[in-house]
Structure 1
């Protein structure tokens, strides 16, 4: 077993031994695959590579041998989002299929499409992952690994499962079958893929090196757009990132994009300006996440603006607890790197991070750009609670 670090996601591999990118004898292919999906990866398990506390990750591998493919058959999860993504050797995305482009099996329903029936009894799908470059006319429900070599990592993601459900959104993990170049099939067993309980509001210990002490200044932090680069990103997300100064209380305000309501088992899949939004505090030295806030738990004031305080536990203002409508992110143990996610923006939502000017995101995001100012614990507590939008 060996570890693969995934930027803005994390995974633990389930394959052993090297694999050749050239055609290999059929008997050798399966020796490179130990089993199917890895155990669930995330903040409560392997807290590295900036995982979102409201997302869940599993990994498998496909030997990059011409003529080899992986068939994935499962039930759509009851969740906000799901996807399959394959990666090249340096962590670049080589192929991806998300929920909205996956056609359901005959007689079944894809609940993720706009207006989809999230309560439908038949919600099965079948996806193929093929070793090799995509043809001129790619097949439906097929992910191609491109020119990736060796063992190709494939990540299965599930974001924001419905209330009361496990990390798989009540669907279990999809079944995996490897088809070899000679046409024979091998069903892969599970790899002890447990669904560890997770409290998204918990502060998670980085467990690794802490960030060096920084000098303070009066200048407010700048946000920069980020994609995850060559570190195994989710291609459906784009990010804003900044670093707040240690030992200070930062207040972040901005317009919250609308998102589909799913968490409380809503029967119909709605739409929004983005599919998913979150803001997390992370340790840049260990790449661990400390805490995250998510769209459907983030209150807005009468102007539609959220307020989120970023501080150590010792400096946490009292009015960030309870029902005051103010979010809080921990900077304990050097977790002063902030990452904001926008997923799958609507085509007419021009203020998304995806559309942001890399050199000046504020100019293109407008009121959706997160504004930061520093204050003290006492000063912020004196402001009380903001008026709610419904008040």
Structure 2
């Protein structure tokens, strides 16, 4: 079975934002023969395999290694030119372990460009990560990811690559070597059929019931979620809300934008900031498709550091919902749109991140960083003019 078939099987059992759905099991690989005879899948993302609520400014690759031996496997690669990378292991679609770039030590003589103050353009930038079977111990080994011994399911993420770089940030995919009793075995590159995959069938199962905690019909309420259950990134925490503007209406979302490090223009060093990464995305919850996202370094802010994001049907987009007018815009995604606001890796001194907010009342801790939503007509918003 090639990797695309694996992705179809795995993604078919993924459903809504994780904290809002009951656990779902992956079909045991023994019933379907070998899962894969190759390494990383084709690139996963909004323009290729649009499922599991991807971020349009991130790229994803998946590897599935059945029967992970006790000796594990190694991932040898080079740090990309981008904002963030990580490796995450899963059991089915639920997160087991994660290893973000700050915790990936470079090989001797190399530089980790993601650490504050490091040279982002360093030529020597190699790393080695070990993947071992079993749960993450209380004192994990350095540069080690822990995975399911039945199926070592791993996702490699690369966020916000530098301008002019390919989706991998100008570096190749890490080499995967499986270690076993018969010695090391390098997994070859996967070959896949051309063309995108129709993933519209990846929906909630017929009997699936959404437990309490799902954002309700009140568009003013944003609920905290980890996203676990749809191949979530453990370095992100989210606020989720539902909006359903009628014809001629727009949803207007405003809040203060956390600071993030500048990387897209090829800045020389990674600087400290309140978050590593921020985005807001428009999603269709039933299919877990993303419609579009706005990202931190492209989101305009006013003199106080506040952003304005307008969400509407394309036909109702206000004329002043443009970056020139200081307004970001997102299209709706079906009759009801799920908005997800991401906070990644908050700095220890940033007290207003989603991660540090109480689940029952995130607004209380987030203050100005908690989004406020109101509904207006398109004409009313256009009446504000440019530079609101």
The TM tier, using the shorter chain, reads 0.7 to 0.9
Call closer, same or farther: CA 1:207–1:308 in 2, change over 3 Å: same
Alignment of 1:281 onto 2:282: yes
Partner of 1:46: 49
Partner of 2:356: 355
Partner of 1:200: none
Partner of 1:238: 237
- Divergent runs of 4+, >4 A: 6-9, 134-137, 193-197, 205-211, 217-220
Partner of 2:163: 163
Q: Does structure 1 retain, via aligned residues, the 8 Å contact 2:310–2:327? A: yes
After superposition, give the CA deviation of every residue in 1:187-233 in whole Å (9 maximum; x if it has no partner).
11111489999xxxxxxx9956999xxxxx99542000000133321
What is the root-mean-square deviation of aligned Cα atoms in Å?
2.8
After superposition, give the CA deviation of every residue in 1:147-206 in whole Å (9 maximum; x if it has no partner).
x352121000000000111110001211111111x1511111111489999xxxxxxx99
C-alpha separation in 2, matches of 1:286 and 1:37 = 24
After the TM superposition, which of the residue ranges 61-70 and 256-265 deviates more from structure 2? 61-70
Q: Does structure 2 retain, via aligned residues, the 8 Å contact 1:19–1:151? A: no
Alignment of 1:319 onto 2:305: no
Call closer, same or farther: CA 1:98–1:19 in 2, change over 3 Å: farther
Partner of 1:257: 258
C-alpha separation in 2, matches of 1:210 and 1:331 = 19
C-alpha separation in 2, matches of 1:189 and 1:8 = 33
C-alpha separation in 2, matches of 1:289 and 1:134 = 31
C-alpha separation in 2, matches of 1:166 and 1:157 = 14
Alignment of 1:18 onto 2:4: no
C-alpha separation in 2, matches of 1:206 and 1:362 = 35
C-alpha separation in 2, matches of 1:243 and 1:272 = 29
Alignment of 1:382 onto 2:348: no
In the alignment, structure 2 segments of 5+ residues that lack a partner are 19-26, 205-215
Partner of 1:12: none
User: Match of 2:59, SS?
Assistant: strand
Pairwise CA distance, 1:65: 4.0
After superposition, give the CA deviation of every residue in 1:215-261 in whole Å (9 maximum; x if it has no partner).
xx995420000001333210000000000124231101100000010
C-alpha separation in 2, matches of 1:33 and 1:68 = 19
User: Match of 1:249, SS?
Assistant: strand
User: Match of 2:316, SS?
Assistant: coil
Partner of 2:367: 366
User: Match of 2:320, SS?
Assistant: helix
User: Match of 1:172, SS?
Assistant: coil
Call closer, same or farther: CA 1:19–1:218 in 2, change over 3 Å: closer
Correspondences of 1:1-391 after superposition (within 5 Å): 1-2=5-6, 3=8, 4-5=10-11, 18=29, 32-89=35-92, 91-134=93-136, 137-145=139-147, 148-180=148-180, 182=181, 184-192=183-191, 220-247=219-246, 248-321=249-322, 323-334=324-335, 336-386=337-387
C-alpha separation in 2, matches of 1:210 and 1:74 = 35
C-alpha separation in 1, matches of 2:173 and 2:193 = 10
